[in-house]
Amino acid sequence: MSKIGVFVCHCGENISATVDCARVAETSGKLDGVAYSVDYKYMCSDPGQSLIKSAIKEKGLTGVVVAACSPRMHEPTFRKACAEAGLNPYMCEMANLREHVSWVHEKGEATTEKAIDLVRILVEKVKYNQSLNAIKVPVTKTALVIGGGIAGIQASLDIANTGHKVILIEKDPSIGGHMSQLSETFPTLDCSQCILTPRMVEVAQHPNITLYSYAELESVEGFIGNFKVKIRRKSKSIDEKLCTGCGLCTTKCPVKKIPSEFNEGLGMRTAIYVPFPQAVPNKPVIDREHCTYYLKGKCRICEKVCPIQAIRFDQEDTIEEVEIGAIVLATGFSVKQPDFFPEYGYGKYPDVITGLQFERLASASGPTLGEIRRPSDGKVPQNIVFVACAGSRDEAKGIPYCSKICCMYIAKHAMLYQHKVHGGKSYVFYMDIRAGGKNYEEFVRRAIEEDGVNYVRGRVSRIYEKNGKLIVKGVDTLLGAMPVDIEADMVVLATAGVANSDAEALAQKLHVSYDAYKFFAEAHPKLKPVETNTAGIFLAGACQSPRDIPESVSMASGAAVKVACLFSQDELTRDPLIAVVNRMAPPVYSSCVGCFLCVSACPYQAIEKEEIKNRAGEVIKTLARVNPGLCQGCGTCVAFCRTKSIDLQGYTHEQMYTEVMALLNEY
């Protein structure tokens, strides 16, 4: 006979404001098999847990139902409490009275009834619970960092410095990411490359870091501590071991008019190229989409000029298979291009540029060597307009969120302009100035007060060209919505920061959640900001939402610590809530007929063949077997098995059936 304890939590007022907790406890106390029931203000608190522990000991409970919040939140807490009182932790179940009842229903009779129903079905389930033992799995102590921007660089260095191996993959020919494109950084105006490039070199030279540039994630299998990852190393068409990076090939390449990605299309590059002089690795790749040899079958000039014959036209992509314990996603973000804005000319005015393009103009390594010259005719703009929130905070554009970094970089841009173009006039159209952060507000004030940047609070409705000038039609809402027309020589749009175009596909490959804007979702907005919902996969930087450099770096260090915590253990303990194929006495052995349709249904490749042999070693029967190390307990195979030969521990057919029947039957 079961002796079940029901513990109803008020969750402060979270549950009790809507649900009559005392009645839930009283009613469940009368259920068949319930030996004890009680309600308490905070069941997860120390006295709450003691209540459970002492009841287990004093009443000799055989099962526990905690009616509180989501099991995602506190199931481990209560299972641990049960274990401490000598009860098998898997004899404890949670009824979710918070997310499933109080938070989604009004106060009322039916709400309390629903709470009682949820408790009731779990009481019936617990009667069929069985003692289970945790599974231990080994940890592969190598981390994979995806993305070689500042977040990926920082995460790699931090993990590597704890003594663990790191594989860093970057899809572009060089690491560095967006930070390498920036001119100077707010709020100190120190040169971005000057602080970044030493880190890039450190990555390349670190004995614990393997850097694969020009590489992408092909596939991921497995789970925390035991991922099997395939990396596609795109062909660079050069022998990296031979190449010294002398750069002769890049000077002789006849295809010289390819818009440079690094310079945001404001400069040109060759088909065999190094993205920028400080690139790491500083060895060229051939862009096969533009190379004359790949397009027309002739040329091979780079091959002729290469002093060490390092060009390999027939090189193919290679797939590297690696075993990984943890993954840090640091794939960064993109910015909307001017062609997203019909009101600003759909990108048809060459002098309407993005903030990132302005960075290149202001950068000493940029196409103008740091002089602010407009793209159309190379003239120095005497009037410049900066438009904040281009796309951001605009429901009509489908981007209701704040891109966060723009207010600060616009202040920086305007300041750099004023420093470089003496006598020039700069205007900033803004909605609000969001300068929260250490020394941030002071920085913006400096732009306004010391450098004389004209801040106009209002939005820009239209930009059009007239007599060689860009007419910016805006409004000043601080002067009673007075229309403001500015004749500008150049306009810089602080275009919204958005997720990369391939973010969704990548998230699906990795089974991590993402939000409506395709930014990767953290496991908890406050308490688990660098974790994802998939154990062993962490987030760093702007792939989670637009972030500035200090935030990306701190997040990367945070993710690195999470990886280091994981790697500090030799074994991981996992819940034994996994699928098991039934076994029976000979000559049946199992009701499994060995059709192995479950093998293709399993998303984790956890099902294998097991041969049953007689004493002579002959195979009598071939059955499915679930590998307990790989199974994630999703239950797909259970649903798929026609003979119902597979059962999910902790969620068995009997438990599920009992729950359904408890719900359907009157009590």
Partner 1 sequence: MDELIKRAKELLEAGTVKVVIGYENGSADKTRALFAIEPKDADKLIFDSRCVMNLATYITKAEVKGKGKMAITATLPVMRAIIQLASEFQVNDSNLLVLGITPESKMIEFKDLAEVEAFVHKYTIEIEAKYSEKLEKLDKMTPSERWSFWIEELSPCFKCYACRAACPMCYCHKCTVEFNQPQWIPVPSHDLGNLEWHMMRAIHLAGRCIDCDACYNACPLGIPLNLLTKRMLIDAKEHFGGYQPSIKADHLMSTYKPDDKDNFIM
List phi, psi (to 5°) of 520: -65, 145
The region, left, alpha or beta by phi > 0 then psi within -120 to 50, assigned to residue 172 is beta
Cα–Cα distances in angstroms (integers) from residue 454 to residues 188, 443, 476, in the given order = 21, 15, 11
Cα separations (Å) of 519 from 163, 360, 513, 522, 537? 31, 26, 9, 9, 15
Minimum CB separation from partner 1 for residue 516, in Å? 18
Report the amino acid identity of residue 384.
Answer: I
Nearer to partner 1, 242 or 595 (CB): 595
Please tell me whether residue 640 binds partner 1 under the rule CB under 8 A: yes
CA nearest neighbour of 216 among 147, 313, 143, 288: 147
Q: Which stretch binds partner 1 (CB under 8 A): 129-137, 391-399, 449-457, 595-603?
A: 595-603
Alpha carbon distance, N-terminus to C-terminus of the chain: 19
Q: How far is the CB of 311 from partner 1 (least distance, A)?
A: 36
Backbone angles phi, psi at 128, to 5 degrees: -100, 0
Closest to partner 1 by CB, 208 or 582 = 582
> Which residues in the 139-168 window bind partner 1 by CB under 8 A?
none
Please state, in angstroms and rounded to a whole number, the distance separating the CA atoms of residues 610 and 592.
11
Q: Considering only residues 507-526, where is the footprint of partner 1 by CB under 8 A? A: 508
Shortest spacing between CB 103 and partner 1, in angstroms: 26
Q: Least CB distance from residue 266 to partner 1, whole Å?
A: 36
47 binds partner 1 (CB under 8 A): no
Q: Is 601 in the site for partner 1 (CB under 8 A)?
A: yes
Q: What DSSP state is assigned to residue 259?
A: E
Query: Does residue 644 belong to the site contacting partner 1 (CB under 8 A)?
Result: yes
- 570: tokens are 């030799």
Task: Provide, rounded to whole angstroms, the least separation between the CB of residue 624 and partner 1.
Answer: 10
Residue 658 in contact with partner 1, rule: CB under 8 A:
yes
Q: Which of 595, 605, 611, 620 binds partner 1 (CB under 8 A)?
A: 595
DSSP-assigned letter for residue 284: -
Which residues between 304 and 363 bind partner 1 (CB under 8 A)? none
What's the min distance (Å) between Cβ of 401 and partner 1? 27
Question: How many angstroms separate the CA atoms of 290 and 256, rounded?
Answer: 10
Q: How far is the CB of 508 from partner 1 (least distance, A)?
A: 6
On whether the CB atoms of residues 514 and 503 are closer than 8 A, the answer is yes
What CA–CA distance (Å, rounded) separates 203 from 293? 33
Cβ(148)–Cβ(177) below 8 Å = yes
- Options 622, 628, 629, 650; binder of partner 1; rule CB under 8 A: 622
In 448-502, where do the E strands start and end? 454-457, 460-466, 469-476, 482-488, 490-495, 497-498
Enumerate residues 6+ apart whose C-beta is below 8 A from 304: none
Mapped onto helix, strand or coil, the DSSP state of residue 327 is: strand
Q: Which is nearer to partner 1, 268 or 601 (CB)?
A: 601
Cβ 591 to partner 1, closest distance in Å? 4
Cβ closer to partner 1: 136 or 653?
Answer: 653
Least CB distance from residue 511 to partner 1, whole Å? 12
Backbone angles phi, psi at 510, to 5 degrees: -95, -5
Q: How far is the CB of 522 from partner 1 (least distance, A)?
A: 24
293: number of Cβ within 10 Å: 20
Considering the complex, state which of residue 204 and residue 593 has its C-beta at the smaller distance from partner 1.
Answer: 593
Cβ closest to partner 1, residue 524 vs residue 644: 644
* Nearer to partner 1 (CB atom), residue 372 or residue 503: 503
Strands 135-138 and 454-457: unpaired
Helices 150-161 and 549-567, axial angle in degrees (round to 10): 30
Binding region for partner 1 (CB under 8 A) out of 164-172, 328-336, 447-455, 640-648 = 640-648
State which residue, 506 or 566, has the beta carbon closest to partner 1. Answer: 506
Establish if 611 lies at the interface with partner 1 (CB under 8 A).
Answer: no
By CB under 8 A, how many residues form the interface with partner 1? 23
**Which residue number, 54 or 219, has a Cβ lying nearer to partner 1?**
219
Q: From the CB of 594, what's the least distance to partner 1, in Å?
A: 6
- Helix 406-420 to helix 355-362 angle (10° resolution) is 30
Q: Which stretch binds partner 1 (CB under 8 A): 23-31, 129-137, 213-221, 591-599?
A: 591-599
CA 437 from centre of chain: 23
Our finding on whether 643 is near partner 1 (CB under 8 A) is: yes
Binding flag, residue 600, partner 1 (CB under 8 A): yes
CA angle 261, 363, 385 (to 5 degrees): 90
Task: Give min distance, CB of 133 to partner 1, in A.
Answer: 23
Kindly tell me which residue out of 32, 107, 364, 657 binds partner 1, with binding defined by CB under 8 A.
657
Residue 647, φ and ψ in degrees, nearest 5: -125, 150
Of 593, 608, 625, 629, the one binding partner 1 by CB under 8 A: 593
How distant, in Å, are the alpha carbons of 131, 230, 579, 658 from that of 128? 10, 42, 16, 8
* Cβ proximity to partner 1, 57 vs 642, nearer residue: 642
Q: Which stretch binds partner 1 (CB under 8 A): 340-348, 370-378, 478-486, 641-649?
A: 641-649
**If binding is defined by CB under 8 A, does position 130 make contact with partner 1?**
no
Angle at 104 between CA 100 and CA 106, to 5 degrees: 125
CB of 621 to partner 1, least distance (A): 10
Which runs of consecutive H residues, i.e. helices, occur in 604-652? 636-640
How many Cβ atoms from other residues are within 10 Å of residue 347's Cβ? 16
Grouping H, G, I as helix, E, B as strand and the rest as coil, residue 664 is helix
CB atoms within 10 A of CB 473: 14
Candidate segments 203-211, 285-293, 419-427, 651-659, binder of partner 1 by CB under 8 A: 651-659
Binding pattern to partner 1, positions 459-488, x when CB under 8 A?
Answer: ------------------------------
Q: Is 257 in the site for partner 1 (CB under 8 A)?
A: no
505 binds partner 1 (CB under 8 A): yes
Q: In terms of CB distance, is 376 or 508 closer to partner 1?
A: 508
Tell which one of 256, 442, 653, 663 touches partner 1 (CB under 8 A). Answer: 653
Q: Does residue 591 belong to the site contacting partner 1 (CB under 8 A)?
A: yes
386 contacts: CB under 8 Å, gap ≥ 6: 410, 413, 414, 426, 427, 428, 429, 491, 492, 494
Q: Write down the least CB distance from residue 171 to partner 1, Å.
A: 19
The residue ranges that bind partner 1 (CB under 8 A) are 505, 508, 588, 591, 593-598, 600-601, 603, 622, 640, 642-645, 653-654, 657-658
